[in-house]
A and B are shown apart, each in its own frame.
Chain A
Amino acid sequence: MSETISRVARVATLILEISGAALLVAMMLMTFADVIGRYFFNSPIDGAFELTELMLATLLYCGLPLISMRDGHVTVDLLEGGLSSRTKRVRDAIVNLLMAGALAFLTVKLWGKADLSSYDTTAILEIPLAPLMRFMAISCGVSAILTLMLLHFPHKPVNREVVAGQ
């Protein structure tokens, strides 16, 4: 049972990582091509602005399950020294439950927002926005489940050297 779960988690992670990486590269190359096109060939990419926005949003919500799974949210670890490992475990469980609850709530709210936005599109390329909102909702839902799984499965924390790009 737990073997199947961990295999599913591994595959899902890889899919998210690959899609996120591809989006990031696409975003970089598109911006570059847009600039080159505009200055050297006088033909910018139509709607590059909008595409960048949509890609950014998708990228973020590819990343959310990844950081949820790796306990990667930014925290303040000021008062860690004085706690026993048992207290810490209980505290972490409460924090994870709270986080999962908040993510589940966000799932419902984003899904509801998508229902209200069935006719909304971007201005130039007229790309419908509801699917993006549904993707965000699904990502939050998956993250909620992964956060609950942290209660049971050990995790490897992400590399904190690069915390928050400061």
Chain B
Amino acid sequence: MAKIGVYVCHCGGNISDIVDVDEVARFASKLPDVTVVRSISHMCSENGQRTIMDDIEEHNLDRVVVAACSPQFQGSTFEKTLAKAGLNPNMVEMANIREQSAWSHYGKPEDATEKAKILTSMAVERIRKKEPVERISMKIGKNALVIGGGIAGIQASLDLANAGIDVYLVEKEPTIGGHMAQLSRTFPTEDCASCILAPKMADAAEHPNVHLMTYSEILEVSGSIGNFKVRIMKKPRYVDENKCTACRECEKVCPVNVPDEFNLGMTARKAIYLPSSTAVPHAHVIDKDACLGLNPLVCGRCAEVCEADAINYDDTPLYVNLEVDTIIVTTGFDIFNAELKPQYGYGKYRNVITSLQMERIIVEMAEGRPPRPVGKDIAFIQCVGSRDAQVGNLYCSRICCMYATKLASLLKRADPSSEVYVFYTDLRAYGKGFEEYYRTAQEIGVNFIRGRPGELMEDAETKKVIIKVEDTLTRKIIERKFDLVVLSVGMIPSPGTIKIAEMLKLPRSSDGFIKEAHPKFRPVDTPVEGIFVAGTAQGPKDIPDTVAQASAAAARAMTFMNKGEFEMNPIKAVINGEMCNGCGICAEHCPVDAIQVKGVAEINPPLCKGCGACISFCPRDAIDLRIYSDDEIMAEIEAALKDKREDEKRILIFADDMCTYTLADSVGTAKREYPPNTYLIRVPSSSRVTPKMMLKTFEMGADGIFLGECEEAVSPYPNTLDVIDENIKKVRTVLSRAGIAPERVNYSPFVTVMLPKFVNTINKMVEIVNKYGNIPEEKRRKLSAVEVMQ
């Protein structure tokens, strides 16, 4: 027998001005298992909380209902109150009679009061069925994996290492540094990129807490936060990085020449090569595909001259198994392949190059070895591969306006007699110091033309590139020949980013980059707990933003690792082992692969997100959801429909916590009215509402049902909208067969800002229900007998 205390809050008039709180209190006192009822001005105040604690002690209450504001508003306050009083914090339920009654139905105080009574009754019935739930904690250690050794990975590794975390930094190239190491100067300060990067690279390599693995690839990742199992392959270098002194004698004798990828094919390297002059580790590596055979019988000249005896043709891959607690993905970007725009002649005209090639030219020029002539008339064409529906990249790559301004400025200052043009549509100089830098570029005479050419032509004799473009500001078509044209190529997710995203099951946004958990408040979390993302893997950005994200990701990872213990979200699916026959249908439908079948189905709690999608598919009703169990929800539904008058129509709305419930609260807070015969039932995800549940709801007297869920883009659960769609279809089929209008059940995705959409949707639902009237009793009774097709 439960002992429930019910507390009706006046909320300083916010509730009591509209809702007759004393009537609600009287009503509550007649509900089953209710021991104490109080009507108090401010429940959340010190006084209010003390009253609850005193009552718990005096009357031996074991559970509490607070009819007040939204549980999203003060829910955690009362959980703490119960914990202080020695009860399981789970055992409190809030009836939302402020945002979802007093405020949203302020024009109809009688209806608001009636609804407040029903909401209170729903809370009481639910709390009667509630089981105390123990929080699940797991141990979490201090090992982190950072995938990708560019500036983002290096920064994140250093931050973690300095905080005492053991970091495994895995990079697939033979050197760390990423694309930043290829750059000349960085905007807007014109710092030399490798100059500022080199000390960081050295720190990362030397830090006692950083275990650097270069020329290594991630093969497999399994497990979850606090318990990731990673399998890595260290590719054979054929050169011992600890013995090699980078004297470069081997290069002098190697007979093989191949294009140097660090210089984007503009210069050559040998089969045995130092990846770059700033490479870390500073050691050579043999490109086994270019080498004549890794065989002293075939060649072997490099080994002959190597005084450090560092070359080993018999080197083999090394497989490493790691256990880490958190993962940070910093796998970076690639530049857009300019060959996908043949109209610009890249690869065909010798005087058309990419911006990254221009970076290398400027660096090499400064060292006195220009890989190709630059000429006097140079043009930059913006937005190549970005903001372009024809190649499917609708996004802006963020850095190109600034890097073109920078490259143009460097060229103009190096040779003031040159003419440099930038052909743009918008010039985006949004960051700190950017607009000032752009102004300086204009001052020194860089020409900015607002217009982009449809195509480039080559002068057959001189090989100069002819640009014909509309200067959209004067509407004149202008033409000029250039010695060199630079395509300002955008950023695309690197092959590594795509591969790792797939391997770790990280969703990607519509632009192809890794999707952050929440676009505003969780920019470096991924939807997978324990895995974070930083840098250009998450989207195009410059170096300062990359470094900021890297430090943020490290801090987020440390938040979990420093506690030593990590408390999981208690909302998890649970399998009734006796009912389960191991058919595995649930495992097939779990969007995060949290279910394994070993005889019976087993949920892996750290992976389970608690969406409840699996429940709808189980043919034996063997799955339930902790905190939001079948019994609790059904009790709430029954209470919502009890004592319904004959002509009365009631609509139940299942609202997902993150979006729909929040939205409904916002609607109330904004004092927008909607019909009061609508009762919200809070669920973690509406995919938790099974077809059987919905049919039972109709059977119990509901005249309409609506499911609200987050839009895909902001949803913490993957694929739930598909599950909901399927469930609704199944219910509609049954309704049609029973002669009940299928439109009585519907669903919609919501985002928390769509206040008018919520009100319109509710109004439409009420209209439909009014149109069809009450469902006759005989039709209702037939519903539960129907077998729902799984």
The yes or no verdict on A and B being binding partners is: no
Question: Which B residues lie at the A interface, using CB under 8 A?
Answer: none
